[in-house]
Amino acid sequence: MPSTGVFHIVVEPVDAGTRLDLMVASRVSDLTRSQAAALIQHGQIRVNDLFKKPGYRLQATDEITGRIPPPADTVVKPEPLALDILHEDNDVIVLNKPAGVVVHPSPGHASGTLVNALLYHCPTIGPIGGEFRPGIVHRLDKDTSGLLIVAKNAAAHAHLAAQFAARSIRKIYLAVVHGEMADERGVIELPIGRHPVDRKRMSISSRKPRLAETRWEVRERFKGLTLVELNLKTGRTHQARVHCAAINHAILGDPVYAGRKVYRSQTATTLVLIRQVKRQMLHAWRLTYTHPSRLVPVVFEAPLPQDMDQLIVHLRRLSMPSG
């Protein structure tokens, strides 16, 4: 559900007893519980067209209606920020996104995003694809590094969006995961949707799941950890992270889906190393698409970022036979 504009929610029996502010926050993207409570208190969100308190306990068939106003400042400003551009032509820009950078503005990230940098680098990209996501046809999580393709004109945007919708764009990720994979390759086919309780998480136990498929293959084995290739056949939010955790091989450093129990099987030496990891070890390594105007297959690869590369080097040393 969009984070601005009018919305309508009919409470299902399974949600009866849920607080009003919590329900709204869980169903409207990019809206926190405190923000929902403030809107409820200002009368912008009602239940059965009546004013209610944020802590009102919902009943089955209650109808929640509301309007989420746009941010006070709706102008995304160009900023002279560094971009790691691997390729650029009249139709596309292919970037290597560093970890820690947000792709587009959202609550709490009004500046310093990839979009702010793109608007400075290529001002004509502004009207393409929407005010807050100009040129953006797919995204990466803040702490995931790697390849991102951006459209520079409306025709390229439409062509690339159609390729993503048809699942003809091939996205290969590299990830360091907990545990030693028993097989050499496999397929994860588990549906993904919004977590039934925590709106910031995705889950394979969602009330409204969507088909998701990830194919994986072992690249290298270490003591207690594995480097894998992940081929995302679908593009669900947090797909790689959710699927790896679902098969008990959570991505190393994932603050959301890798619980503390994943560290129990690690050796003391390995623990010292992996506790220095500051983000999920997930990198969008290879991207294959059809060029929007030349209509030929194009393949790009992004080198591993320094933190992930150094981690793998250290893991190789730890895994070498002693003596």
Q: Which active-site residues does the annotation give?
A: 141
* H helices present in 146-195, as ranges: 154-165
Q: How far is CA 254 from the centre of its chain?
A: 12
Question: 277: Cβ–Cβ under 8 A, 6 or more apart, which residues?
Answer: 252, 253, 307, 311
Strand partners, 10: 63
CA distances (Å), 279 to each of 87, 101, 242, 305, in order?
A: 27, 12, 15, 12
- Cβ atoms 154, 292 nearer than 8 A: no
C-alpha closest to that of 171 among 220, 113, 215, 114? 215
User: CB count, 10 Å around CB of 118?
Assistant: 26
